Chain A
């Protein structure tokens, strides 16, 4: 069996609030294997956003051991973290976060701007991804010309363009109605079925139900159901 995508051992994360240290994560142990579809559930204030930021290497833990895509995250500098995010992690955000000035196709291509190893045919690959989510006709559109569901599908294509090990979706359906949410979850499910490791962070049990594994986070501690 291939090495796990993500290994977290006794991870803590504290923030300075005023002159006090606030511990948000209190020793998280978590392993995510390749090809898994995992939901991380928790209410707001449970530490799930912090966990998501750490897993996405947007932030580093205060202590613990954290291996992502075979790299020891604790040892990486800012540039190396950028490279890790670029090559190994795909982000899907609640508010989509597309560049408003860029077209759909350009938005999908943004991660390739920072790819150290150049790949040919990135445009073809972007077009192919957009076709998979049914947006091949909208490549020249601006994000504002799209519906929320369409924007989120563009964001998923952007997350997949560099072929990352881990697709990290933070409340991907939080701003969508239930029918569109279903569409997006189906896209994520199909992505997982094609072999991609998917982690969804959500507070919604219906969304978590799409995943094959659910992890609960509460007061900075993980429990698995």
Chain B
């Protein structure tokens, strides 16, 4: 059958559907919900994948983090860290010198201190002692003024770069650059302001911290020789797992950890951390798909029942068509096309309203805008498939009527 014939058949069929308005609408509704939820789920999970990618990039490209401390697992629960005091800037140097895949690294010490400017005091601001290339490794730069220089670090200068939140709390509208603040009891000169970064994976506000040179931090502020973190940038993405193993082996050797003993440090691949986060989304995706499948089944059953009804209602039409020369397969094809069109109608409405709602949702959630093309194709394909599957039995049934039995004068 060519298109002209199909169209003429559909025109005739459409008018016969009008008398089953409600039942047809219900059948369409099932398929509608199926495609609707498929589209929303695929767009949201697509968007979340992009957002996760962006978050990983905002942490720094190809980043491995060495954290000081023993990881203890309590059952299957969250890992607990206990303090260790043996991760040092020398460890960092050793990593840089002996592992070629390491592009750059910055050791960092973190501790909270009270901070004061004029009459304003803040308790428990996180102070990070970092090295100059921290800003490139963590992809976190000074927006105004300057960041810590090599010279600052070597000379143990008392200079500070403030996060946006700290600036707002301490200075309000005042320009902080060049001013002196007290960290604990030590005066530091403000030389720069960090760009806005928002919260990190764990939800901590990264703008509510102050950066000072690592050597100043160690010698002036805490009077220790150990650091809490080493941020390591790897040259290539695919080298990360191997480099992680190399670093662990090197640190175990340097910390004299024998076989069978636990590490007193942890090397963290931020992608693994993100993977945990996306697992939650995967579950939502699965639930959404199940909901879609159930809707499709309901829609399919709806179409099945409406088609059985239509076929019975149109026995005479089938008889007439057979008498004027339609073959059985023409009848089957006719009803299959009808059922898939019913299904596709629901599918189309579902796809468009699903796309519309996901655009709105992504806007409201401030998630990156994505429209999943595969989701679109799967939703359309599924609705056609449901239509065809639901049409098989009724259209087979339609050919069981013999024209002689129907046409009796």
Show the binding face of A for B, using Cβ within 8 Å.
49, 53, 56, 58-59, 78-79, 82-83, 85-87, 91, 93-95, 97-99, 101-102, 106, 109-115, 118, 158, 162, 170-171, 174
CB distance from B139 to the nearest CB of A (A): 66
**Complex Cα distance A113/B326, Å?**
8
A101-B325 in contact (CB<8A): no
Measured between beta carbons, the chain A residues less than 8 angstroms from B327 are 78-79, 82-83, 114
Measured between beta carbons, the chain B residues less than 8 angstroms from A118 are 2
A101-B404 in contact (CB<8A): no
Closest to A112 in B: B5
Measured between beta carbons, the chain B residues less than 8 angstroms from A56 are 323
0 or 1 for each of B167-206: is its CB under 8 Å from A? (1 = yes): 0000000000000000000000000000000000000000
Q: A58-B323, A79-B327, A158-B324 are in contact. Are A93 and B409 (CB under 8 A)?
A: yes
Give the residue of A49, A53, A83, A171 whose beta carbon is less than 8 angstroms from that of B325: A83
Give the residue of A53, A78, A106, A110 whose beta carbon is less than 8 angstroms from that of B324: A110
- Whether, in the assembled complex, B15 has its beta carbon less than 8 Å from a beta carbon of chain A, the answer is yes
0 or 1 for each of B286-329: is its CB under 8 Å from A? (1 = yes): 00000000000000000000000000000011011111111111
- Whether, in the assembled complex, B253 has its beta carbon less than 8 Å from a beta carbon of chain A, the answer is no
A86-B325 in contact (CB<8A): yes
Give the residue of B1, B16, B323, B408 whose beta carbon is less than 8 angstroms from that of A101: B16
Give the residue of B319, B326, B402 whose beta carbon is less than 8 angstroms from that of A114: B326
Binds A, one of B6-14, B91-99, B210-218: B6-14
CB distance from B230 to the nearest CB of A (A): 77
Counting from the closest, the 4 A-B pairs by CB-CB distance are A86-B325, A94-B409, A101-B15, A111-B324
CB distance from B407 to the nearest CB of A (A): 6
CB distance from B365 to the nearest CB of A (A): 48
Measured between beta carbons, the chain A residues less than 8 angstroms from B55 are none
0 or 1 for each of B6-41: is its CB under 8 Å from A? (1 = yes): 001101110110000000000000000000000000
Give the residue of A49, A59, A86, A102 whose beta carbon is less than 8 angstroms from that of B409: A49
**Complex Cα distance A112/B8, Å?**
11
Measured between beta carbons, the chain B residues less than 8 angstroms from A113 are 1, 5, 8-9, 321, 326, 330
**Complex Cα distance A59/B317, Å?**
18
Closest to A53 in B: B404
- Whether, in the assembled complex, B368 has its beta carbon less than 8 Å from a beta carbon of chain A, the answer is no
B325-A58 in contact (CB<8A): no
A sample of 16 cross-chain residue pairs with beta-carbon separation below 8 angstroms, ordered by A number, consists of A58-B323, A59-B402, A59-B404, A82-B326, A85-B324, A91-B323, A99-B317, A101-B13, A101-B16, A110-B320, A110-B321, A113-B5, A113-B326, A114-B321, A115-B325, A158-B324
Q: A113-B1, A114-B325, A170-B409 are in contact. Are A97 and B320 (CB under 8 A)?
A: yes
**Complex Cα distance A171/B408, Å?**
11
0 or 1 for each of B40-81: is its CB under 8 Å from A? (1 = yes): 000000000000000000000000000000000000000000
CB distance from A14 to the nearest CB of B (A): 14
CB distance from B318 to the nearest CB of A (A): 10
**Complex Cα distance A85/B330, Å?**
14
B407-A79 in contact (CB<8A): no
A174-B409 in contact (CB<8A): yes
CB distance from A129 to the nearest CB of B (A): 15
- Whether, in the assembled complex, B403 has its beta carbon less than 8 Å from a beta carbon of chain A, the answer is yes
Measured between beta carbons, the chain A residues less than 8 angstroms from B409 are 49, 93-95, 170-171, 174
Measured between beta carbons, the chain A residues less than 8 angstroms from B407 are 58, 93, 97
